[in-house]
A and B are shown apart, each in its own frame.
Chain A
Amino acid sequence: MLRVRFHGRGGQGVKVASRVLGTAAFSQGCYAQDFPLYGAERRGAPITSFTRISREPIMERGVISQADIVIVMDETLLHDPMAMPLSGLKKGGIVFINTSHSQEEAGAEYKITAWVITLDLTKIGIEMLGRNILSTLAGAVASRIAGLEEDSLRHAVEKEMSDIMTDRELIEKNIEASLYCYNAIPPVEIKTSGTREAGTVITMPFETAGVSSPAIYAIGNTPLRKTGNWRVFRPVWNYDACTKCMMCAARCPEGCILVNEEGFPYTDYENCKGCLICVEECPTKAVKGVLEVHA
């Protein structure tokens, strides 16, 4: 059995990526299982989804704690203690990272000893689909690493996209982009195993209501969560064109645009989620969205 885990952020297409892989495997005669896992957070928040592929009926259920292949669709998650995408990767397993780095650079940067494969899916998504939705691209990469056929992938993308959209042109673009990603990854060989190592069960102790019912006594402490790593594009101000009208600061849903000593607006990049309302609303076009490059 092959166990694949996808990590990304809400809105990137993590769930659909696992479905594309599952459907591709199913259409070439395998048994397949795919499902997402997310808590009470949404767009921008870490999301995980899973695909199991086997030639025998799959009796295993639940989240995949030990994966053969890990697909990291957003590399900022590698530093996120809530996501921990590399945990439980099996010996001989493969990590795919969506990054502009080469395989060697990414391995060194994130101190990964396992086999690393990289491709800049964000760039491909923006260039070929016009947006940062990477579902079919990540599904294609996973299909290639899992050793599935190109035709199965084409069929899976066609089916999954037709289920959720009516725009024929966009479906064709998705097929084209996914096949491009499929062929950009060299074929690999991966060992699979039927059994799963036994996990540990943590027993939760009984706590009285005073301990187990949480209450927050600090005020206004969410800035500590640093939602800045949700961004794909960062807003950048050109002060030559800025008239200090402060429309950007007024329109920011987060309220994280501040004023510097010279009276110009700037954003708190630690928490700016990159919605780019400031870019859209600036009357003098002094704010631009610049693709984040994770150096």
Chain B
Amino acid sequence: MEKTPEAAPVRSIKDLPSEENILPGTPVCAGCGGLLTLRYCLKALGSNVVIVNAAGCFTLLSIYPFTPFKSSWLYTAMACAPAGAQGVRDALDVLIEKERLDPEDDLKVVVLTGDGAAYGMGLASTSAAIHRNLDFYYICYNNEAYGNTGFQQSEATPFGSKTGTTPPGKTSPAGKDFPEKDLFEIWNSHKPPYLATISPAHPVDLINKFKKAEKYRGPKLFIALSPCPPGWATDPSLSVKLAKLSVDTGIWALKESVYGEVEHTYIPKSFKPVEDYLKLQGRFAHLFKPTRQEETLKRIQEMVDDYWNRYKLLL
């Protein structure tokens, strides 16, 4: 069901919308990749939104009496942001039907959660909301662990990562010894109108995906791999560089899906070795020191190669 015609795509970083819908002074960490992602997303979405935020790092964005947003913000428990979004959407629809709200002044309902809620606790309520074809946006800022509580394993934590609950040791020298869930595929199995992965290192791709999503009525879902300086044990200045490397090594595939049909939106010309990405991060330091864990490093590279071979895109 098409709603509005597609807006003209943005071509370069210079063309990014200049409006800022989230302001400085937030309590989140310096160099937060999730915050940079959100800043870009809100440039695309504008200020006529209601953000429904599940518990997570971004709970901290709006702490009484301060808010960085130019829009409304509703806080929900970890598992039920999509349910909260349903309530907000219904309320707006009722107001429009009763002619108490001009359809021109309608607001976009945007769910904002981390990977803990998206991949784990909130998966059922998200699945139900997609199933009901709820007209909403979902932004998942994925730092691959429960960052807000000190970086414990989540269902997005990759194979080989050290977290608070997967310390490398004698029984599992790799740290976490099995891979993450493929949330993109889980969500995609519902065949939602629009689903995409995004990266704070590729703002042009990100903004254009939002522009494209705008014309669909129903769930519009986005997953962003978001570097996390304290959790990944990296210098805050490297957040953008790491996001770039995650794409250039093939670890984070930039893709979109329209009603279940997947297409890659950016394929690196030549893939960098995954080590380039891993060795910069403290959470993978045990794979290199005191001795190199060759088997583990090989397996991580193989998992990435297998992914791209599956799509026959590895050149």
Contact = CB atoms under 8 A, between A and B. Distances in A.
Contacts of B30: 43-44, 230, 273-275
A11 B13 CA distance: 32
B31 A45 contact: no
Interface string B234-251: 011111110000000000
Interface string B39-77: 100000000000000000101101111111111000000
B315 interface: no
Contacts, number: 136
Interface stretch (B15-23, B88-96, B125-133, B261-269): B15-23
A214 B35 contact: no
B238 A220 contact: no
A280 B290 CA distance: 28
B27 interface: yes
B65 A276 contact: no
Contacts of A223: 23-25
Contact of A222 (B36, B67, B238, B289): B67
A216 B62 contact: yes
Interface string A205-230: 00000000010101111111111001
A92 interface: no
Nearest to B26: A222
A225 B23 CA distance: 11
B13 A222 contact: no
Contacts of B203: 250
A166 B68 contact: no
B13 A254 contact: no
A40 interface: yes
Contact of A280 (B65, B66, B241): B241
B33 interface: yes
A160 interface: no
A277 B236 contact: yes
A276 B236 contact: yes
B28 interface: yes
Contacts of A214: 64-65
Nearest to B29: A43
B32 A277 contact: no
A246 interface: yes
A216 B63 CA distance: 9
Which residue, A216, A227, A268, A281, has most C-beta atoms of chain B within 10 A?
A216
A257 to B, nearest CB: 10
Say what secondary structure dominates the interface of chain A: loop
A251 B36 contact: yes
B64 A255 contact: no
Contacts of A44: 29-30
Contact of B24 (A10, A227, A289): A227
Contacts of B65: 214, 216, 218, 221
B70 A220 contact: yes
Contact of A45 (B27, B69, B71, B240): B27
Contacts of A250: 13, 16, 203
Given A166-B289, A223-B25, A276-B237, A216 B67 contact: yes
B229 interface: yes
A70 B81 CA distance: 43
B107 interface: no
Given A222-B66, A224-B66, A253-B35, A280 B25 contact: no
A214 to B, nearest CB: 4
Contacts of A71: none
A271 interface: yes
Contacts of A281: 240-241
A216 B240 contact: no
Nearest to B201: A251
A41 B66 contact: no
B283 interface: no
A227 B14 CA distance: 27
Contact of B13 (A225, A246, A271): A246
Interface of B: 13-14, 16, 20, 22-33, 35-36, 39, 57, 59-60, 62-71, 148, 200, 203, 229-230, 235-241, 285-286, 289-290
23 contacts: A42-B29, A43-B230, A44-B30, A167-B289, A216-B64, A216-B67, A219-B71, A222-B24, A222-B25, A222-B67, A225-B27, A227-B27, A250-B13, A251-B240, A253-B32, A255-B24, A271-B25, A275-B239, A276-B31, A276-B235, A276-B236, A277-B236, A280-B241
Given A220-B67, A250-B13, A274-B30, 14 more contacts: A10-B230, A11-B29, A42-B28, A43-B229, A45-B27, A214-B65, A220-B70, A225-B27, A250-B203, A255-B20, A255-B24, A271-B24, A275-B30, A275-B31
Interface of A: 10-11, 40-45, 166-168, 214, 216, 218-227, 230, 245-247, 250-256, 268, 271-277, 279-281, 289
